[in-house]
Amino acid sequence: MIDGEKVRERISTFLHLSPGRAVDGAALTDLVTESFVLVQLVIDLQEDFGIRLDGEDLRDVRTVGDLIAIVVSRGSPQS
Amino acid sequence: MIHDDELWILSFYRRSEISGALFFGRLAQTIRAGPIQHDLTKHFSDESMHAWYWTDCIEKLGAKPIQVDHSYQDQYLEAAGLPVNIMEILAITQVFERRVIGQYALHRALPGLPAEVEATLNRIMQDEKWHIEWVRDALVSLEPEYGAEHIARTIERYAAADRQVYERTLDEHSGRLKELIARSRRRGPR
């Protein structure tokens, strides 16, 4: 099982966010200056948590909470 | 002295090599240690060198690189969508590298190329062959994880986007390309 708070911590570290900014409702597009940083973040999370994501998984991801949820779901035994 | 159309094309190559270097550099920084990181880092280094080769070539021809707003890759990522995993990164790279080597081969076949341009194309194409090989091998290594069919479908999706962007690029710059070819023919073989 992947711990959602570990994912939040990783997002925060990767994006150099100040404490408290990586809240569930934060829009990812407000936290990054360009879309390629999001690509790097998504690849970093896959590498860090040993999971695989594809475009379909990310189609409806808009916020930090959405991203954490998809990473956690990919790390669960059922996925 | 180099003609404006030729200068634009060489500057476009330079800009595209810089974009490639930045793309691979950022990925090399992100992915974890292993064979793909190793080769991706070398690829990043090669693309940077290619940008330098074009800069040097343009200067040797008595000109200065001009600002080109968009690289081929920028249009490519817009058409194909951003890759979201390492397999997609490699798939888009394979399609792109094939396009690059094809474009450079076409350019090299023009008669009467300035010696500096021919030497630069030859130098870069040596590296491009290795780029295609390592990416192909890396994609094969990912087959157990992603599936050979899924990888093939992804490559085809990016190849379709590539054809679309290439046709658009040719349309946009057909005047420049025709002029380049006409001037080369007038110069004739060296």
What are the tens digits of pLDDT across the range A42-52? 999 999 999 99
Residue B153, CA distances (Å) to A15, B87, B141 in order: 32, 12, 16
How high does pLDDT run on average in chain A?
92
Inter-chain touch B88–A46, beta carbons under 8 Å: no
Which has the closest alpha carbon to B184: B113, B118, B119?
B113
Q: CA end-to-end span of chain B, whole Å?
A: 17
Domains of chain A with CATH codes = 4-74 (1.10.1200.10)
pLDDT at residue B187 tops 80: no
What's the CA gap between A67 and A57, in Å, rounded? 10
Closest residue in A to B33 (Cα) is: A47
Tokens representing B55 are 């800069």
Please, which pLDDT band fits residue A65 given cuts at 50, 70 and 90? very high
| Residues paired with B156 in a beta bridge | none
Question: pLDDT tens, B50-82?
Answer: 999 999 999 999 999 999 887 777 777 778 788
Please, which pLDDT band fits residue B189 given cuts at 50, 70 and 90? low
What's the CA gap between B135 and B153, in Å, rounded? 16
SS3 A27: strand
Question: What percent of chain B is modeled with pLDDT above 90?
Answer: 69
pLDDT at residue A55 tops 80: yes
Question: pLDDT tens, B117-155?
Answer: 999 999 999 999 999 999 999 999 999 999 999 999 999
Residue A17 has what DSSP assignment?
P
Question: How large is the average pLDDT for residues B21-37?
Answer: 95
Residues of chain B whose beta carbon is less than 8 angstroms from a beta carbon of chain A are 23, 26-27, 29-32, 81-86, 88-89, 145-146
Residue B157 contacts residue B149 (beta carbons within 8 Å): no
CA-only gyration radius of chain B, Å = 17
> From the CB of residue A76, how many other CB atoms can be counted at a distance below 10 Å?
10
More reliable by pLDDT, A21 or B189: A21
pLDDT at residue B48 tops 90: yes
Inter-chain touch B85–A53, beta carbons under 8 Å: yes
pLDDT at residue A77 tops 70: no
A47–chain B nearest CA distance, Å = 7
